[in-house]
Structure 1
């Protein structure tokens, strides 16, 4: 980092400042989620490869009728690793900072990927997936928080949504890699796609520690000078700019209200008490946002797209892989719709729009797959394939990035790291549940598997409408003021309270505005200690 000595210049990180630095932070975060998406999607089309089945015959459902449970466990155990990785950040996440957590997560994922691609037994593969999951759990509980804490209110949604879109980019990429290696023979057809994920953490690790640390974490650690430099670099302003001072003051005030200035006195009991800023209420909103994302049924499709097209819709191995890759690509494109609208129409409307579409898609999938399975209806099979695309489109718009953005925004700074650890652990717990039961459900109740998820999506609509407040356009500190007005015994009132709260407007820096803000700042501080 370059520290500026002139008040006319802003400090820089890796030679960047202002919007360019914000966008580069977002890009680095997105590479982490590209890795996440690739790892989510890569196994789906490998399960039916001859070389994979020969290496791991005990999870070959075509050879053993009782292998579905073991296959589901082998794939889903990755989520158990993610769960433990996410929960581990509760202990050290706030002690070592956001960047170091990401660095550690990437290092662990490298070890896990090597173990997976070198596996010759199911036990070896399971260990590799658990280790990879631990690293990914650390990353997914930290990256959205780091990105949100480094973003301006007016653009925070779009920047975090890029990461959401890159999840699907990773999924789509993994499908196309799987498809390309389908035409090869021998173990390389599955070992290379699994090993390819090594590229992403290798790209992240040399650079992540050169990026700015979260300024809010720095303030929590009483490192005000470092936080001032980061705010100034992210805003592209001098370190003594009134806006930098204002941001420092807002975060400090928020922490003082929670009585944790200094940052090392976190008490686990805080998570289960309301306090000044309604900590438990906000923890629950973040946790349920993550749970809702998973019980919508998306990973039923992400993990098993190729298998669904081939085994349950009746397509050829080649066509199923082409469609799975195209489905992942359409999923990636749909995610950018949310990027366009997230800060304009808000979080709530996108979430509700997604849920309505997901409910209808799952209900119609039940009908079309039943027709295909029981009556051999070719038109119904085509309709089911189309509906898998439709479902992913609605999910990409409404919930893909939202499940990571909302839990990063809602908790107060005092508990943000442990709250994100818990909400991310909730994501992976229910991710494991869905991925584990999917093969068993398809074997037992076949097309009615979709009906379960249709009902769950339907039930989520009123929950979001009555309980989830709008966070678009509000600074992370504004949310403290919003929740402070809510009676914790009447959580449904938060939606109306938030709707009355004005959005944080972007400030245009001009010579006149600098002068005016300087006057205002002087008045604000004439009877108090200047934070600089």
Structure 2
């Protein structure tokens, strides 16, 4: 079957989210191989620049990479903003005037603190629900549709929050709004990292996704300073406007996602080869029928051979592709991120400064804003380090730094300490978010998208995100991460997604550690990747007996 016969999406379809037809199949349900990638007639309606290279939003190559990164960053600025905005609002006089359940003068300090925590925590319940939805339906809908749906759902949740008025079941409406907004965030956090990783080149994927994840801290910083600025207003606008500002990022993301490309790997998995080749050509940048684009499309098609029916139970299988092991490795990073104590600091730093460290409300807001700024600046440190140092070393650095910071905080708040020891605990909070900001903040969003194969990537990434929200707990137990990083986290820096598949397959066949295999296996060219896929039987063609009958595993 040739690309000439493949139906291209009309140009207008870039502005809408229409359903894709099922992929063509042959034999036992496999994706139909495209025998003629080269020489195909370019369909009409595809926008190109003067060099004959496809464009999206008038851009290709690095400019298109930057636009994809901007869109992904908007989604995570939105995520970070919502994480931080409640810190400055939850105990403000204007907020508790509307939501009396959080008013200590009416409910008592204990009861009010419980309701304050509930206002914050219900958001993560919604995020968990959104991540589960992405696991069940994400691959069916596609990356762009899931991202767009997340923005719509989150905007609806924000609208419910800002239209809550005292005396009209305000607390119930606000809680439902937080729950709905969290549901939309679950869509985003499950889908955006996968979409971004699948559109990025191997050599820049780490930096691109790190920038996207670092925008979480930027969003948190913005929310803290906005909370501080509006805290001087006496009206309800002091909390309504900071909450409503989230819609700005949701609207920007939705406008951009309509015009940006779908993941080329998802397109190939659904049989849309022309559109996939067009996206690859625009990202490269190169003409659609160039050798580079044709080879990349073939490599992705080979990776998907025999994998058109994606079943949830595939996550529980091993064999040469080691799906279960890779799901556990990727999702463990989200688990470790959450139980390291980040949420206690991010969500409640203002309350900690005010109620437990004894500063007044204005100073607590200022300290919280400065802390969020340090957090955002620390995230920028990761940009030059992610591909230069590698993922594993950053995991080590962040783990040790966070643990030592927590021990410092613990030592300074032991009863009976001199009052000046409180300053040491403040330093500990700043150090903790500094180490977290350039390591564990970003890595768990990048690593699952890299370490999981295309067949299970959507579902595995959703499982990782579910793990993130499921383990929104507190604990200074960072040191337990070290042995897992040492023995199970292979280095993915500079590797294509197909090379990572080969690392796991070779580790399985040869019975060696995947970490060791990643260290020893040289970088592979496109032809070498295709040859290895055939040799290892990953494309269901010429499967060697050593692979088909092997029961050897690796640790």
Is the structural similarity TM-score above 0.5? yes
Query: Counterparts of 1:45-56 in structure 2 under 5 Å?
Result: 45-56=88-99
Out of 164, 175, 179, the residue aligned to residue 119 of structure 1 is 164
SS state of the match for residue 73, structure 1? helix
| Structure 1 equivalent of residue 493 of structure 2 | 472
Which stretch of structure 1 is more off in the superposition, 211-220 or 201-210? 201-210
Q: Normalising by the residue count of structure 2, what TM-score does the alignment of the two structures yield?
A: 0.83
Out of 113, 124, 141, the residue aligned to residue 190 of structure 2 is 141
Give the distance between the partners of 1:332 and 1:295, measured in 2 at CA. 21
| Structure 2 equivalent of residue 153 of structure 1 | 202
| Structure 1 equivalent of residue 281 of structure 2 | 232
Out of 95, 98, 112, the residue aligned to residue 67 of structure 1 is 112
Give the distance between the partners of 1:271 and 1:108, measured in 2 at CA. 28
| Structure 2 equivalent of residue 314 of structure 1 | 358
Q: Do the aligned residues in 1 keep the contact of 2:78 with 2:246 (CA within 8 Å)?
A: yes
Structure 1 residues 360 and 411, CA gap change in structure 2 (3 angstroms): same
Q: Is the counterpart of residue 397 in structure 1 residue 418 in structure 2? A: no
Structure 1 residues 93 and 489, CA gap change in structure 2 (3 angstroms): farther
Query: Counterparts of 1:56-455 in structure 2 under 5 Å?
Result: 56-61=99-104, 63-120=108-165, 121-256=170-305, 259-260=306-307, 263=308, 265-370=309-414, 374-375=416-417, 377-431=418-472, 433-434=473-474, 453-454=475-476
Q: Do the aligned residues in 2 keep the contact of 1:7 with 1:240 (CA within 8 Å)?
A: no
Unaligned runs of 5+ in 1: 435-452, 508-516, 525-532
Give the distance between the partners of 2:218 and 2:232, measured in 1 at CA. 22
Which stretch of structure 1 is more off in the superposition, 55-64 or 194-203? 55-64
Q: Per-residue CA shift, 1:476-528, capped at 9, x if unaligned? A: 010100011234998x92211111122358x9xxxxxxxxx9xx99xx9xxxx
| Structure 1 equivalent of residue 516 of structure 2 | 496
Q: Normalising by the residue count of structure 1, what TM-score does the alignment of the two structures yield?
A: 0.87
Give the distance between the partners of 1:353 and 1:69, measured in 2 at CA. 35
Q: Do the aligned residues in 1 keep the contact of 2:320 with 2:509 (CA within 8 Å)?
A: no
Unaligned runs of 5+ in 2: 1-10, 12-44, 535-555
Q: Do the aligned residues in 2 keep the contact of 1:7 with 1:239 (CA within 8 Å)?
A: no
Q: Do the aligned residues in 2 keep the contact of 1:293 with 1:400 (CA within 8 Å)?
A: yes
Give the distance between the partners of 1:284 and 1:65, measured in 2 at CA. 38
| Structure 2 equivalent of residue 30 of structure 1 | 73
How far apart are 1:398 and its partner, in Å? Answer: 1.2
| Structure 2 equivalent of residue 17 of structure 1 | 60
Give the distance between the partners of 2:454 and 2:368, measured in 1 at CA. 40
| Structure 1 equivalent of residue 7 of structure 2 | none
Q: Do the aligned residues in 2 keep the contact of 1:313 with 1:369 (CA within 8 Å)?
A: no
* Structure with the higher fraction of residues in helix conformation: 1
How far apart are 1:185 and its partner, in Å? Answer: 0.5
SS state of the match for residue 503, structure 1? coil
Q: Per-residue CA shift, 1:333-385, capped at 9, x if unaligned? A: 110111111011111101110000000000110011225xx44x342112211
Give the distance between the partners of 1:11 and 1:192, measured in 2 at CA. 41
Give the distance between the partners of 1:30 and 1:504, measured in 2 at CA. 30
Out of 22, 25, 41, the residue aligned to residue 84 of structure 2 is 41
Give the distance between the partners of 2:55 and 2:471, measured in 1 at CA. 41
Structure 1 residues 424 and 273, CA gap change in structure 2 (3 angstroms): same
Out of 477, 480, 485, the residue aligned to residue 459 of structure 1 is 480
SS state of the match for residue 344, structure 1? coil
Count of residue pairs brought into register by the alignment:
481
- Post-superposition, which runs of at least 4 consecutive aligned residues in structure 1 deviate over 4 A? 4-8
SS state of the match for residue 151, structure 2? helix
Over aligned residue pairs, what C-alpha RMSD do you find? Answer: 2.2
Structure 1 residues 427 and 335, CA gap change in structure 2 (3 angstroms): same
